[in-house]
Amino acid sequence: MNKLNYYTDGWPLIVEMCPCDVHFTDFLAERGIRNASIFHFGTGTHHHVGITCAENGSNNAVMGITASIEEAEAYTKLAIEKPNVSRSYKAFFGDIYLLDRRLLPEFDVVALFHLCEFWGPESAAYHAMTDRQMLDLLTEKTRPGGHILFYTKSMAFDRAGLVIAQWAKERPVEREGEFKTLLVYRKKK
Query: Does any domain span residue 13?
Result: no
Q: What is the pLDDT of residue 173?
A: 98
CA distance 170 to 100: 22
Query: Does any domain span residue 66?
Result: yes
Q: What is the pLDDT of residue 13?
A: 53
| Residues of the chain predicted below pLDDT 70 | 1-18
CA distance 50 to 25: 9
CA distance 146 to 110: 8
Query: Does any domain span residue 31?
Result: yes
CA distance 149 to 103: 21
CA distance 158 to 47: 26
Query: Does any domain span residue 26?
Result: yes
Number of domains in the chain: 1
Q: What is the pLDDT of residue 7?
A: 58
Query: Does any domain span residue 11?
Result: no
Q: What is the pLDDT of residue 119?
A: 79
Q: What is the pLDDT of residue 122?
A: 82
Query: Does any domain span residue 4?
Result: no
Predicted TM-score (pTM) of the model is 0.91
- Quickly count: other Cβ atoms within 10 Å of residue 138's Cβ: 21
Task: Give helix 20-30 / helix 48-55 axis angle, nearest 10°.
Answer: 30
**Number of alpha helices (DSSP H) and beta strands (DSSP E) in the chain:** 7, 7
- CATH classification at residue 179: 3.40.50.150
Q: Minimal CA–CA distance to 114: which of 149, 139, 143, 146?
A: 149
Q: What is the pLDDT of residue 118?
A: 84
Query: Does any domain span residue 9?
Result: no
Query: Does any domain span residue 146?
Result: yes
What does the pLDDT look like over 119-128, one tens digit per residue? 778 878 788 9
What does the pLDDT look like over 140-158, one tens digit per residue? 999 999 999 999 999 999 9
Q: Which structural domain, as residue segments, surrounds residue 151? A: 20-187
